[in-house]
Structure 1
Amino acid sequence: MSINSAMLAGVSGLVANSSALASISDNIANVNTVAYKRNQTNFSSVVTAQAVPGHYSAGGVQALTRQLVSTQGLIQTANSATDIAINGDGFFVVTTKGMGLTNSDQRLFTRSGSFSVDANGYLVNDSKLYLQGWPVVNDIVDADPSDLTAMQPINVKALGTAVAATSVVELNANLYNSQAISGAEAAYDPAGDPTTTMAQYADDVANGVSPTGTKPDFTMEMTITDSAGGTHKVALAMLKSDVPNEWHAEVYAIPASDVDSGGAPGLIKSGKIMFTSEGKFDPASSADFFASAAPSLKPTFQLGNSATGTAPKWATNLGLGDQSITLDLSKVEQSAGSNQLKSVNSDGAGPGNVIAVQVDEEGFVSAIFDNKQVRKIAKIGLATFPNPDGLKPSSGNTYSSAIAAGVMVAKAPGAAGSGKISPSSLEASTVDLSQEFTGLITTQKAYSASSKIITTADQMLDELIQMKR
């Protein structure tokens, strides 16, 4: 009968508005939750079949609550370098565990980018979920857009130490333009007689024997770092030539046993260096010293692998790999005054440990070492869906894939609508308190009105029952 249907309609109103109240409560409770997406409850009418003409039966109302996942939250500045936000449609891929991850373990999706480094070195967010990314191997990223298992938990501590072998040494020096010509200069012949080299002289002095080589006019020492992080001393020895503005030059190792030169002990490179009449370094006329590096402004000397290659190479007992070192002489000049080494700058660095982590706009996660080296570890991949609002909400401000969301595609940040990474930022909740409080008022009134329907229907049924009396 119509009175019963009215009562049932009132009950459906109570249930529907209770659901609306619950979603509003969730919204208000998560107003400060990072990247939280507000819930919205929509109402739709229920129409029943009208079996008896002239008698209307109420159907009531039903509530459907959905989360507005696709709504972009405000990007706000954060203090941590590992706090990251997405400006766009993508999602971070996370897992519930870091170690022992298998293909069968569930991958979840989140916009919550408040990541930090845990005790084991993994990047985890506030819900202790592990951020996934494509590993970087030799600066190469192998990204598979359809396979989430190609991503691995990002760990910033399982890296060992970072070593940077020296590749460039810059010398800033002055050579005395009126340097007296050495009496041994006439006999100096490094190509024909290795015993006349300046490297031979240095080795003889180091071994405490009577020098047979040629004493240099000026020696500049520098320290280089090998591929294993060890340090070695190398000298650039200069001998004034009897040709104006010309100097004989040799590069040799100290001690000589560090390298196998195949000739004079420790000798790495020899030749002639020229200067202009104004005292400026003249690389174009110094091809003899530059050798294969000409016409570059900077000569390069190669220290080969100890087990293979030709001399000069690292000594076999050191077990070091190939190393190419560029010697930048552009700041070496010839002028009045004394021979003077002003500064030596090189790019090598010995073993260093991780002291910080940073994320850039391209999604690369890099470790910063205390020896000033920066190493790329992984690249964050962002998951995209044709219909993000169709994702299934999960605990920890995450979502799981669902048929309604469509097929997932993993993309690099900024690629094809995946969204851009904002380092040192967080996405704010999309909850508007003024909107939610207004919703509270209307929901309360609607709930009260639905209860009034039940009360009125109850009174009418009482009247009907009273008719018998």
Structure 2
Amino acid sequence: MMRSMYAGVSGLQNHQTKMDVIGNNIANVNTNGFKKSRVLFQDTLYQTMRGGSSPTDARGGTNPMGVGLGMQVASIDQIHTPAPAQSTGKTTDMAVDGNGYFIVEDGNERYYTRAGGFDFDRNGNLVTTADGFKVQGWNADENWNIDTVAPPEDIDIQDLRSVEPRATTEMTFTGNLDSTLRAINEGEDENFVFQPDQEGSVIFNNENSVVTSKEMYNSLGDEEIVYFRFYKFDGGDDGITWGCQVSLDPDFGDIDDVDELNPSNESDTITELPFDQDTGKLPVGTSATLKIQDDNEIDFGNDDDVREIEIDFSDLTQYNSSSTAWAEHQDGYTSGDLTSFDVGADGSVLGVYDNGEIRNLARVALANFQNPTGLQQEGNNLYQVTNNSGDANIGAPADQGMGSIMPGSLEMSNVDLSEEFTDMIVTQRGFQANSRLITTSDEMLQELTNLKR
């Protein structure tokens, strides 16, 4: 008689535990990054009344008999299924699309979280808005490179709020030079578009040359404009080649003789572009080193110059099409201050400077686990490693099986209210049934005590 009462007591206690878990899930239905829990029950010890026996020639076997002593909680499991993301419009808010947890630190304590409500503090540290814990990742070095193999550290952009000027050291050309352009030669007839003027110096126009320009910068960030003039030259037995004349003067100065334009003469301001006459392309790696002297004189070979700019012409083509040659890239810039930043799907924090430069400032790190349900819940949407979770596998977003980052979003709770309300009803009925069990057992005891009357 008393066994049924105590079984009912265990049922009441453990159904109350399940209701507590359901209540916690429902309370956190709007908690960003929250992962719900579930309760599993199991029966408890049995009082054996008769053991099982084996069959014999004369009699068959018998099954064991036992009376259960109630039930108990088998486990309270965390359900780490992903949840939908909610757009917030705040750049530093982040949600993980897939596997992975953000890594945050409070002093020497390391935690993991799916709640990506972050912001930069006044010192340039990326921190959690709730607790000020520092978000872990990798910072860019002085060359704007990010090493994701190194151990993660506090994301800190304080030293990157401004950039120093950078002198131009590289320039790249692309586009086409019209193959139908007439070559410049000495002694052309008077109907040709190229003619010497009355004093014998050379005249260029839009029909026998292609002129373009590109800005470049010195070490102080001062902008200079360099001009390029492309023209075709008949090299005799060497075939037709192109010359590129470079100058800081948009008028390129005076050219007194066609021979001065011949690239084979190795002029200080002219370099040769030997296009293949069959493919219309330049040899791979065709380039020239431009020299800038202290007095802003420019040439292609003075060893006393203080600045060098490597110009890559190898992407230029010579087809029967309009001339579109232009310098698409140079690596110099003036000084700039950080005006805004953005976050990429790979976790990169991109800084935008008022000099037009965009740089990778840092990259957020993620951690993955063999058994995420083995993480220890610490409150505040934080988890810590346990013996059964396995060590954290740290990597960059979108790498090594890590999820990608959804910037401007926060992960919602994975609590399903319909499921929780259904479990609540079932739990309530279970609690009610166990309470009736205790009441009925009490009534049976009451009948026993009334037997003496």
Task: Please say whether Structure 1 and Structure 2 have the same fold, judged by a TM-score greater than 0.5.
Answer: yes
Partner of 2:26 in structure 1?
Answer: 28
Q: Would you say the 8 A contact 1:84–1:426 is kept in 2? A: yes
Q: Would you say the 8 A contact 1:168–1:325 is kept in 2? A: yes
Partner of 2:147 in structure 1?
Answer: 142
Distance 2:404 2:120 in 1: 22
- 1:405 aligned counterpart, secondary structure: coil
Q: 1:388 aligns with which of 372, 381, 387?
A: 372
- 1:349 aligned counterpart, secondary structure: coil
Partner of 1:180 in structure 2?
Answer: 197
Pair 1:391–1:235, CA change in 2 (3 A):
closer
Distance 1:287 1:326 in 2: 17
Distance 1:144 1:169 in 2: 31
Q: Determine if the alignment matches structure 1 residue 225 to structure 2 residue 217.
A: yes
Matched to 1:159, the amino acid is L
1:183 Cα deviation after fit? 7.4
Pair 1:67–1:179, CA change in 2 (3 A):
farther
Pair 1:41–1:234, CA change in 2 (3 A):
same
1:384 Cα deviation after fit? 1.6
- Taking only the aligned residue pairs, the percentage that are identical comes to 29
1:273 Cα deviation after fit? 5.3
Partner of 1:415 in structure 2?
Answer: 399
Q: Would you say the 8 A contact 2:44–2:71 is kept in 1? A: yes
Unaligned runs of 5+ in 2: 52-64, 176-192, 203-210, 235-241, 250-258, 275-282, 296-301, 317-325
Q: 1:357 aligns with which of 338, 341, 354?
A: 341
Distance 1:37 1:22 in 2: 15
Q: Which moved more, 1:420-429 or 1:27-36?
A: 420-429
Runs of 4+ aligned structure 1 residues displaced above 6 Å come to 51-55, 169-172, 219-222, 284-287, 292-298, 343-346
Distance 2:50 2:174 in 1: 103
- 2:39 aligned counterpart, secondary structure: strand
Q: Determine if the alignment matches structure 1 residue 91 to structure 2 residue 101.
A: yes
Pair 1:78–1:165, CA change in 2 (3 A):
farther
Distance 1:107 1:39 in 2: 23
- Counterparts of 1:440-455 in structure 2 under 5 Å? 440-455=424-439
1:461 Cα deviation after fit? 3.2
1:387 Cα deviation after fit? 1.0
Deviation sequence 1:316-348 (CA, Å, 0-9, x none): xxxxxxx526498x99xxxxxxxxxxx999754
Q: 1:366 aligns with which of 350, 355, 359?
A: 350
Deviation sequence 1:325-378 (CA, Å, 0-9, x none): 6498x99xxxxxxxxxxx999754322222222222333222222222111122
1:142 Cα deviation after fit? 3.4
Q: 1:462 aligns with which of 427, 446, 450?
A: 446
Distance 2:198 2:327 in 1: 26
Q: Would you say the 8 A contact 1:95–1:130 is kept in 2? A: yes
Q: Would you say the 8 A contact 1:237–1:249 is kept in 2? A: yes
Partner of 2:135 in structure 1?
Answer: 131
Distance 2:148 2:29 in 1: 35
Partner of 1:301 in structure 2?
Answer: 290
Normalized per residue, the structure richer in helix is: 1
TM-score (norm 2): 0.67
Distance 2:407 2:265 in 1: 48
Matched to 1:251, the amino acid is S
Distance 2:272 2:243 in 1: 19
Partner of 1:201 in structure 2?
Answer: none
How many pairs does the alignment contain?
A: 377
Pair 1:144–1:183, CA change in 2 (3 A):
closer
Q: Which moved more, 1:352-361 or 1:413-422?
A: 413-422
Q: Which moved more, 1:442-451 or 1:344-353?
A: 344-353
Partner of 1:117 in structure 2?
Answer: 120
Deviation sequence 1:17-66 (CA, Å, 0-9, x none): 22211211222222222222111111111123346998846333335322
Distance 2:244 2:364 in 1: 53
- Counterparts of 1:248-259 in structure 2 under 5 Å? 251=247
- Counterparts of 1:156-195 in structure 2 under 5 Å? 156-162=157-163, 163-166=165-168, 167-168=170-171, 180=197
Distance 1:12 1:432 in 2: 28
Pair 1:395–1:17, CA change in 2 (3 A):
same
- Counterparts of 1:255-334 in structure 2 under 5 Å? 288=267, 289-291=269-271, 300-303=289-292, 310-313=303-306, 324=309, 326=311
Pair 1:170–1:367, CA change in 2 (3 A):
same
1:435 Cα deviation after fit? 0.7
Q: Would you say the 8 A contact 1:290–1:298 is kept in 2? A: no
Q: Which moved more, 1:451-460 or 1:51-60?
A: 51-60
Unaligned runs of 5+ in 1: 186-218, 254-270, 275-283, 315-322, 332-342
TM-score (norm 1): 0.65
Provide the alpha-carbon RMSD of the alignment: 4.7
- 1:134 aligned counterpart, secondary structure: strand
Pair 1:250–1:400, CA change in 2 (3 A):
closer
Matched to 2:290, the amino acid is F
Pair 1:159–1:292, CA change in 2 (3 A):
farther
Distance 1:232 1:56 in 2: 92
1:313 Cα deviation after fit? 0.7
Pair 1:178–1:90, CA change in 2 (3 A):
same
Q: Determine if the alignment matches structure 1 residue 79 to structure 2 residue 89.
A: yes
Distance 1:234 1:169 in 2: 15
Q: Would you say the 8 A contact 1:351–1:371 is kept in 2? A: yes
Matched to 2:138, the amino acid is W
1:15 Cα deviation after fit? 1.8
